Amino acid sequence: MIAGHYEKMLQEKSVIRELSEFAAARGREIGYENVFDYSLGNPSVPVPDAVTETMIRMLRETDPMALHGYSPSLGIPSVRQRVAASLRQRFGLPYEEEDIFMTSGAAGALAHALRAVTVPGDEVLTFAPCFSEYFPYVNGTGAVLKLVPADTETFQIHFEALEEMLTEKVSAVLINTPNNPSGVVYSAETLINLAAVLNKKADAYGHDIYLISDEPYREIVFSGVEAPFVSSYYDNTLLCYSFSKSLSFPGERIGYVAVNPACADAAKIIQMCGQISRETGHNCPASIIQLAVAENLGITADLSVYETNKNIIYDELKTLGFPCTEPGGTFYIFPKALEEDARAFCEKARKYDLIMVPGDGFGCPGYFRMAYCIDTEKVRRSLPALRRFVREVYGVK
Amino acid sequence: MIAGHYEKMLQEKSVIRELSEFAAARGREIGYENVFDYSLGNPSVPVPDAVTETMIRMLRETDPMALHGYSPSLGIPSVRQRVAASLRQRFGLPYEEEDIFMTSGAAGALAHALRAVTVPGDEVLTFAPCFSEYFPYVNGTGAVLKLVPADTETFQIHFEALEEMLTEKVSAVLINTPNNPSGVVYSAETLINLAAVLNKKADAYGHDIYLISDEPYREIVFSGVEAPFVSSYYDNTLLCYSFSKSLSFPGERIGYVAVNPACADAAKIIQMCGQISRETGHNCPASIIQLAVAENLGITADLSVYETNKNIIYDELKTLGFPCTEPGGTFYIFPKALEEDARAFCEKARKYDLIMVPGDGFGCPGYFRMAYCIDTEKVRRSLPALRRFVREVYGVK
């Protein structure tokens, strides 16, 4: 009598897990340094020293009862205040403590935001290509996730498809900019048009439509690219943030939901998040981690390596003739495969020790994702393998 | 269109929150040291120095990429191995890594365990008096929690009531020993009888019945009391543990599910817990916290103050004529109120700056809970107030 639903999830193959097992096995054969593993979105730079020093100082100097004590279910008040102040200062919206809910990373933020603004049976829309974990996040609420097809020219929004799919049953639209897997940053124009569609449909249907904005890559934006602050464009926005990438702190599970103060129910939605936690057993990120990030809101890890890697890979892919939209941020790139079946393409690439993820799992077949959060030196060493692969298999050049 | 279910939860009054707000307000008037606040189950002793030193050492010496990197969804393998080894050594059951799932405290453990072995519509039984958060933990799964009435003589199990309520719809029974709020430790006899009932009913109904054993107070057991290891008595046991009380580490949110290796589906249940996390956005406790507790499994905070406090309070309550079962562990005691309405009793006690929680919220009206995780000196200072209260209001002595 174990729960069949979760038992069934076990049987679904995880492509990324399989790839990473292959990479590990191959690494044991030839040395992991010789496997060009572009499969995993793991930060490849260390946490800033300032965060480490903050934690050591707190462990040495803070009363352990205060440091390790229970956090209120919405997060530690001083932490919520600092997060609100930082957002106010950077983005000009009047966030206050009451608009902030501390979470275990973006996963926790999304799980709470989705539960707060959907009921079972609702539809949630997101855009291909998308992070594959959006499916369990939404399914877990009882709502249904539907995928708006990609605009593969620009990887901005396919507005015709959106308008058609945004029926009365849709209670929330989920976006991710800078985007995993495309690396694309939504332009101000895209966000203006999106807000217009959402406002028009909300008026027509006579109910709110919430915008859930998943922003773990907000701080990884490349030179010359403008990353507009999503919440400034639409009142009913729930920002879901994670420090995993900006601070290279993914295992410490820390992020937040920030509801746009212009949202009529902002404070109530945050309070509801605390009730959602009671049912999911989430109960706050670790106290010391909350306190440590709150003291280091102004800084990031040294993220410059990702832009260096992007430039090298993007140039090489263009030279080799891959159709490819240039990433504006993140540590991903999403080129078109050189044959229709991206699974077959990635399978063949493995023989050259190139580990890449087919776009099928992101809802965008025919493309593939490279996660270039690896050492630049390894990126450079991977280029001859990439050239050999496309020459020998696809006759390029 | 925010989710009405969670909005409604906001309107339910939390008695403990109200009491703690009263205590804080009164504290601002007369000094918090003069408010005898027995309302909150917050550890009152510091984390062991060894845990602090472990964390500082890891921050200084461990590669930050390894220290703060993503934990696999079931927990860090070395941590799961150490937890399994520690349980093997202490309790003699052959736990292995594959039987352990790391969680954000007991809340996370219970939320996962309940989802793994119930489906919506199932019934889960627990025993009055119980921790009030069991209701949202179970409701969140779609199952229904039913409360077996208390055996108020001993606060062991009321077996007649259990047998009657354990119908075919019950998929899990949830126990908590040492118990919040009674402080009682289930005897070996109780556990033997419980296992017999569960086995008998499982045979009769032709389906498994899981025992979910919530054990955050396992290390707080008083001298002369034997606390049998629940999992040794029944194969299909899911142990839910938290380090919050044993290490005085509640804000760091760390615990685990350990499935009895004798349970036919042990490894599968653990794997399913990883799938459950994908839907609830839980995704592991913080990496540094997992690593820190794994290096300190053999130790606890200095928990002796709780027994000292228990002795003082129990003696005083008996002297004053309160019917009261002596706690065998925890930092709670659950005496009978001196009038039928424990809410009225606790309301009157407030005038003497004694903050205690009526048993109604624990499913056991007529009783009240004192959480004596406060300084012994304050416990002593509270006795004159307690005496004055019962003399002036109830004419005792």
Residue B146 φ/ψ region, left for φ over 0, alpha for ψ in the -120 to 50 degree band, beta for the rest: beta
Q: What residue in B sits closest to A268 (Cα-Cα)?
A: B7
Cβ neighbour number for residue B149 with a 10 Å cutoff = 15
Question: Would you call A248 and B64 a contact, using CB atoms and an 8 Å cutoff?
Answer: yes
CA gap B324, B151 in Å, rounded = 13
DSSP letter at A247 equals T
- Helices A49-61 & B49-61 angle (0-180, nearest 10): 160
Question: Would you call A265 and B2 a contact, using CB atoms and an 8 Å cutoff?
Answer: yes
Encoding tokens for residue B3?
């989710």
Q: A274 vs B17, B135, B255, CA distance in Å?
A: 13, 15, 20
Sign of CA dihedral B88, B89, B90, B92: positive
A2 closest CB neighbour out of B52, B272, B281: B272
CA gap A248, A251 in Å, rounded = 9
Report pLDDT for B195.
98
Set of chain B residues whose Cβ sits within 8 Å of the Cβ of A270? none
Are A329 and A227 a contacting pair, CB within 8 Å? yes
A282 closest CB neighbour out of B4, B46, B282: B282
**A195 or B42, which is more confident:** A195
Report pLDDT for B16.
80
**A270 or B15, which is more confident:** A270
Please, which residues have CB within 8 angstroms of residue B376's CB and are 6 or more apart in sequence?
B305, B308, B309, B312
Are B317 and B387 a contacting pair, CB within 8 Å? no
Question: Would you call B2 and A42 a contact, using CB atoms and an 8 Å cutoff?
Answer: no
B47 closest CB neighbour out of A42, A68, A71: A68
Which residue intervals of B92-177 are DSSP H helices? 105-117, 134-139, 159-165
Q: Could you read off the pLDDT of B239-259 as tens digits, one per residue?
A: 999 999 999 999 999 999 999
pLDDT greater than 70 at residue B41: yes
A272 closest CB neighbour out of B3, B251, B275: B3
Set of chain A residues whose Cβ sits within 8 Å of the Cβ of B107? 281-283
Query: Residue B214: in which H helix or E strand, if any?
Result: strand B210-214
CA gap A104, B115 in Å, rounded = 20
Q: What is the mean pLDDT of residues B345-360?
A: 96
Set of chain B residues whose Cβ sits within 8 Å of the Cβ of A66? none
Q: Read off the pLDDT band of B368 (50, 70, 90).
A: very high
Report pLDDT for A93.
98
Are B181 and B362 a contacting pair, CB within 8 Å? yes
Closest CA to B298 of B6, B7, B125, B51: B51
pLDDT greater than 80 at residue A241: yes
CA gap A74, A163 in Å, rounded = 35
Mean pLDDT over the full length of chain B: 96
Helix (H), strand (E), coil (C) string for B80-92: HHHHHHHHHHHHC
Name the CA dihedral angle for A241, A242, A245, A251, rounded to a multiple of 10 degrees: -170
Q: Could you read off the pLDDT of B281-324 as tens digits, one per residue?
A: 987 899 999 999 999 998 999 999 999 999 999 999 999 999 99
Cβ-in-10-Å burial (0-12, 13-18, 19+) of B150 comes to buried
Largest CA distance in chain B: 66
Report pLDDT for A246.
97
Beta bridge mates, A357: A369
Report pLDDT for B20.
82
pLDDT greater than 80 at residue A285: yes
- Residue where the block lists tokens 């990887």: A155
pLDDT greater than 90 at residue A376: yes
Please, which residues have CB within 8 angstroms of residue A315's CB and are 6 or more apart in sequence?
none
Report pLDDT for A291.
98
What distance in Å separates residue B390's CA from the closest CA in chain A?
Answer: 33
Q: Read off the pLDDT band of A282 (50, 70, 90).
A: confident
What distance in Å separates residue A78's CA from the closest CA in chain B?
Answer: 15
Q: Could you read off the pLDDT of A32-76 as tens digits, one per residue?
A: 999 999 998 889 999 999 999 999 999 999 999 999 998 899 999
Mean pLDDT over the full length of chain A: 96
Set of chain B residues whose Cβ sits within 8 Å of the Cβ of A136? 275, 278-279
Q: What residue in A sits closest to B284 (Cα-Cα)?
A: A253
Beta strands in A108-183 (DSSP E): 123-127, 144-148, 170-176
Q: What is the mean pLDDT of residues A167-178?
A: 98
ipTM, 2 dp: 0.95
Q: Read off the pLDDT band of B13 (50, 70, 90).
A: low
Are B361 and B132 a contacting pair, CB within 8 Å? yes
pLDDT greater than 70 at residue A13: no
Question: Would you call B65 and A52 a contact, using CB atoms and an 8 Å cutoff?
Answer: no
Query: Residue B394: in which H helix or E strand, if any?
Result: helix B376-394
Set of chain B residues whose Cβ sits within 8 Å of the Cβ of A10? 268, 271-272, 275
pLDDT greater than 80 at residue B335: yes
Report pLDDT for B397.
76
Best A104, A243, A249, A375 member to test B by mutation, with max B CBs in 10 Å, is: A104
Question: Would you call B280 and A140 a contact, using CB atoms and an 8 Å cutoff?
Answer: yes
Report pLDDT for A397.
76
Closest CA to A40 of A368, A370, A361: A370
